Amino acid sequence: NAAVRRLLPEKIARRLIRFKDGFLYTMVRYLRSYLLIMAMTFVIMLVGFLLLRIPYALLAAIAVALLDMLPVIGVGTVLVPWSVFSLISGNTPLAVGLFLLFAANEIIRQFAEPKIVGRHLGIHPLLTLIFLYVGYALFGVLGLLLIPIATVAYQAATGKGKERGGTPPAAQPQK
């Protein structure tokens, strides 16, 4: 901050610092929302794996939840092939259980993700869902990452990223 204040005119330096502070504040909230979604996925997987009597259910749930956070790779990348393999191997109950676990996770996530991300970013869940869809439609999987980050940048630039507590103290206009 000190270097920015020395190198730039005061008004521009204040705006740039306010943007940076707001951007970082909102990015932390955005990342926190996805950690919450990852925790939700972990709990769903753990309960499902325990019910299905999967060996090392805890480790499997951790692995699936971590993979779920990577773009393109999700729960389905693990559970669908596992379910198909179980079906081919003749373990129909496990195959059906894994597929139902996958379906349950996807349904819960479709409802929860826009609400969780929207709440943490301070935007309406429907608007969050629209942003995610438009990002995916325009840029594919990369758009799922770019649009939320662009939204965070916009909120930081305009000071509109408000949660229940308002804007961060560093992002509030200075007189």
Residue 167: pLDDT above 60? no
Q: What is the pLDDT of residue 151?
A: 75
What pLDDT is stored for residue 4 in this prediction? Answer: 75
Residue 127 lies in a domain: yes
pTM: 0.72
Q: Which residue has better confidence, 65 or 170? A: 65
pLDDT-derived band at 159 (thresholds 50, 70, 90) equals low
Confidence of residue 166 (pLDDT cuts 50, 70, 90): very low
* Structural domain includes residue 171: no
Domain that holds residue 130: 9-160
Structural domain includes residue 139: yes
15 or 102, higher pLDDT: 102
In the block, which residue shows the tokens 């408000």? 162
Decide if 174 is inside a domain.
Answer: no
pLDDT higher than threshold 90 for residue 91: yes
Does the pLDDT at position 134 exceed 80? yes
Mean pLDDT of 121-150: 78
Number of domains into which the chain is organized? 1
Convert the pLDDT of each residue in 25-79 to its tens digit. 878 888 898 899 999 999 999 999 999 999 999 999 999 999 988 766 789 999 9
Q: Is 3 domain-assigned?
A: no
DSSP secondary structure of the chain: -HHHHHHS-HHHHHHHHHHHHHHHHHHHHHHHHHHHHHHHHHHHHHHHHHHTT-TTHHHHHHHHHHHHTSSS--HHHHHHHHHHHHHHTT-HHHHHHHHHHHHHHHHHHHHHHHHHHHHHHTS-HHHHHHHHHHHHHHHTHHHHHHHHHHHHHHHHHHT---BTTBS-GGGSPP-
Domain annotation covers residue 150: yes
